[in-house]
Amino acid sequence: MLKRVTNEWIGENGMPATLAAQGAMKEPASPPVVAIKGLSLTYEAADGPVYALSNVDLQIAEGEFISFIGPSGCGKTTLLRVIADLEQPTGGDIHVNGVGPEEARLRRDYGFVFQAPALYPWRTIQKNIELPLEIFGVSKAERREKASKQLELVNLKGFENKFPWQLSGGMQQRASIARALSFDPKLLLMDEPFGALDEIVRDHLNEQLLKLWDKTGKTVLFVTHSIPEAVFLSSKIVVMSPRPGRIIDIIDASVLGRDRTLDIRETPEFLKIAHRVREGLRAGHSYDD
């Protein structure tokens, strides 16, 4: 069953997902999924302007797994929300799949996973996953089919008729990932999706997310404040710093390969990248507070 699902996703790109991603990483022949140039976002607070984002430049190629890491207030979530057209930038250029964020949102280019599962409590898990499809006017039979495919992908078969409160936090977040993937968006935006979960559940979900990424070949943008999580998951790590919110380092982690297990966290390569991330965070941190 899983095999069939994988094949379908590969068919969509015309070539195996792994190859597509690696190709894109080496030389971005296809246009970038996200292209950001000189982006800034300033808002007026009671005690003067707050520079949430300042002069951010970033190119994200198709099939990459990008993590955004930094202390709170560094603008990582804001950046993700700008890409999702949930916030309006005050300056600079941003293109998502070649169009503006609003147009990308309107044509449903991305699925968003929030910090909390945000499942609607009056809907069963199945109905929650069908929600975006309902909104897009997909027929009932097709909704059923797509939702059950996603349920299988996130290992929630057998829970379709449960209500959210009957599931654990980790299962709820898996359901919300299934919901974000249900309409097969090109882009998956995740805003600290596992931040509220305990370490053991988080490790487990990280492994599952990697498998999911490998299977689906989606471009994933992942906000986190955990260094091991960022290094373990990503093909590239974007290190950010606050006041003003800016990018201070972009670290390539593709040397760790795509097929990772939790064990790689003990390897020298992993530790080297983690060290560089930590160095970046330290350099960007202002000690005056």
Partner 1 sequence: MTTEALILAAPPARRKVLRREGTTGPVLVVVLVILALWYVAAIFMNWQGVTDAFSRAGEQHTTGEILLGTLDQERPVLPAPHQIVAELKKTVFGIAITSRRNLLFHAWVTLSSTLLGFGLGALLGIVLAVLIVHVKTLERSLMPWIISSQTIPILAIAPIIIVVLGSIGITGLFPKAIISAYLCFFPITISMVKGLNSPDLIQRDLMRTYSASGAQIFWKLRLPASLSYLFAGLKVAVAISLVGAIVGELPTGAQAGLGARLLAGSYYGQTIQIWAALFGAAILASILVAIVSSVERIVNRRMGVRPA
158 counts as binding partner 1 under rule CB under 8 A? no
3-state secondary structure 191-206: ECCCCCCCHHHHHHHH
Rounded CA gap, 194 and 168, in Å?
13
Rounded CA gap, 105 and 3, in Å?
31
- Binding partner 1 (rule: CB under 8 A), the pick from 136, 145, 252, 257 is 136
122 counts as binding partner 1 under rule CB under 8 A? yes
270 counts as binding partner 1 under rule CB under 8 A? no
Candidates 28-36, 124-132, 229-237, 266-274: pick the segment binding partner 1 (CB under 8 A).
Answer: 124-132
115 counts as binding partner 1 under rule CB under 8 A? yes
Q: Which of residues 164-193 bind partner 1 (CB under 8 A)?
A: 165
Rounded CA gap, 79 and 52, in Å?
9
**Quick one: which H or E segment has residue 95?**
strand 91-96
287 counts as binding partner 1 under rule CB under 8 A? no
Rounded CA gap, 49 and 47, in Å?
7
Residues in the chain: 289
Strands 65-69 and 236-241: parallel
Q: Which one-letter amino acid corresponds to residue 33?
A: V
Q: Which of residues 83-112 bind partner 1 (CB under 8 A)?
A: 84-86, 105-106, 108, 110-112
235 counts as binding partner 1 under rule CB under 8 A? no
194 counts as binding partner 1 under rule CB under 8 A? no
**For residues 84 and 154, which CB has a smaller minimum distance to partner 1 in the complex?**
84
Q: List 197's β-bridge partners, or say none.
A: none
Instruction: Work out how close the CB of 70 gets to partner 1 at its nearest, in angstroms, rounded to a whole number.
Output: 21
**For residues 108 and 272, which CB has a smaller minimum distance to partner 1 in the complex?**
108
Instruction: Work out how close the CB of 151 gets to partner 1 at its nearest, in angstroms, rounded to a whole number.
Output: 17
Rounded CA gap, 43 and 41, in Å?
7
Rounded CA gap, 174 and 162, in Å?
14
**Residues contacting partner 1: total by CB under 8 A:** 25
148 counts as binding partner 1 under rule CB under 8 A? no
Place of tokens 């603008």: 75
163 counts as binding partner 1 under rule CB under 8 A? yes
State the residues that interact with partner 1 by CB under 8 A.
84-86, 105-106, 108, 110-112, 114-116, 118, 120-124, 131-132, 134-136, 163, 165
